[in-house]
């Protein structure tokens, strides 16, 4: 059974710091891995999607890496800002046997607070 | 496009009552997902549809939960009878399958359900 773990559960940093959020998964047979952002009382917004054949994706100050063999992904945020404060969730899309589609398995997230 | 639309945004009900949550996916998307989010268990997939057909309902907790998708632009998640442990935020998401595989999912704002 695929399990996704995110460490730490919460993180508080001063504005301007570079930081890394960690995600690990138990089954390397994934199709892709996604990082989402969730603001309080709101839905999830997809930040980055890494296909299983890729090793990283970048969008602005965000960089996500994927190491399937070790079952790990990291989300790097450069020059953090108070507006980056949110919960960041990692999710893996797994293969499904029998021809049916798989689904996303989510970690519980890391709650990030960037203090001015 | 207005994105994924969910209603109601908040629902407070008493134990034993029927609850119906509604979702309108993004026009043209052929996948629709229902998730439940709690502090204890995080974000869990309940059921998903492809072209209005339920594909995987293994995440539906028990027979009190049912979901329908009568057409491509509308889905409901019903709980009957509701119990206090059903209190959670329920998210709907939609996606467009490419080459038979799902890519980024777009989430609605969620329905916050409180069962007293």
Each residue's pLDDT tens digit, A56-98:
999 999 999 999 999 999 999 999 999 999 999 999 987 665 4
Q: What are A's interface residues with B at a Cβ cutoff of 8 A?
A: 31-32, 34, 36, 41-46, 49, 89, 91, 93, 96, 100-109
Smallest CA-to-CA distance from B101 within A1, A80, A64, A30 is with: A30
Distance from the Cα of B31 to chain A's closest Cα (Å) equals 10
Q: With contact defined as beta carbons under 8 Å apart, do B106 and B94 qualify? A: yes
Question: What does the pLDDT look like over A44-57, one tens digit per residue?
Answer: 999 999 988 899 99
DSSP string, B16-50: T--EEEEEEPPTT--EEEEEEEETTTEEEEEEEEE
Mean pLDDT computed over B4-33: 96
Mean pLDDT computed over B24-52: 93
Mapped onto helix, strand or coil, the DSSP state of residue A83 is helix
Q: How far apart are CA A76 and CA A1, in angstroms?
A: 27
With bands split at pLDDT 50, 70 and 90, how would you rate the model's confidence at B100? low
Give the model's pLDDT for residue A101.
55
Give the model's pLDDT for residue B98.
64
Mapped onto helix, strand or coil, the DSSP state of residue B84 is helix
Give the least confident one: A30-39, A93-102, B14-23, B46-55. Answer: A93-102
In this predicted model, which residue has the larger pLDDT, B39 or B90?
Answer: B90
Least CB–CB distance from B48: residue in A32, A34, A103: A103
Q: Do A43 and B50 touch (CB under 8 A)?
A: no
Give the least confident one: A12-26, A56-70, B75-89, B98-112. Answer: B98-112
Smallest CA-to-CA distance from A68 within A20, A29, A107, A21 is with: A29
Sequence-distant (6+) residues with CB within 8 A of B9 are: B109, B110, B111, B112
Mean pLDDT computed over B82-93: 96
CA distances from A106 to A25, A84, B48, B69 (A): 10, 20, 15, 24
B45 touches chain A (CB under 8 A): yes
Question: What does the pLDDT look like over B55-64, one tens digit per residue?
Answer: 888 889 889 9
Mean pLDDT computed over A10-21: 96
- Find residue A72's DSSP bridge partners: A24, A67
Give the length of chain B.
116
Give the length of chain A.
116
């Amino acid at each position: 059974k695929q399990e996704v773990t995110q460490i730490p559960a919460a993180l508080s940093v001063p504005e301007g710091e570079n930081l890394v959020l960690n995600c690990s998964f138990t089954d390397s047979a994934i199709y892709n891995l996604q990082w989402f952002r969730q603001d309080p009382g709101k839905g999830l917004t997809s930040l980055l999607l890494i296909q299983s054949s890729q090793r990283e994706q970048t969008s602005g100050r965000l960089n996500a890496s994927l190491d399937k063999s070790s079952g790990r992904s990291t989300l790097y945020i450069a020059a953090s800002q108070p507006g980056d404060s949110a919960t960041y969730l990692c999710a893996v899309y797994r293969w499904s046997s029998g021809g049916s589609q798989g689904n996303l398995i989510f970690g519980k997230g890391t709650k990030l607070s960037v203090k001015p | 496009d207005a994105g994924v639309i969910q209603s109601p945004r908040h629902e407070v009900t008493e134990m034993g009552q029927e609850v119906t949550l509604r979702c309108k996916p993004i026009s043209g998307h052929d996948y629709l997902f229902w998730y439940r989010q709690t502090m204890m268990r995080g974000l869990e997939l309940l059921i998903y549809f492809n072209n209005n057909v339920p594909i995987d309902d293994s995440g539906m907790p028990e027979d009190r939960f049912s979901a329908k998708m009568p057409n491509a632009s509308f889905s409901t998640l019903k709980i009957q009878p509701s119990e206090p442990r059903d209190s959670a935020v329920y998210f709907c998401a939609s996606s467009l399958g490419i080459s038979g595989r799902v890519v980024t999912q777009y989430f609605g704002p969620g329905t916050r359900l409180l069962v007293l």
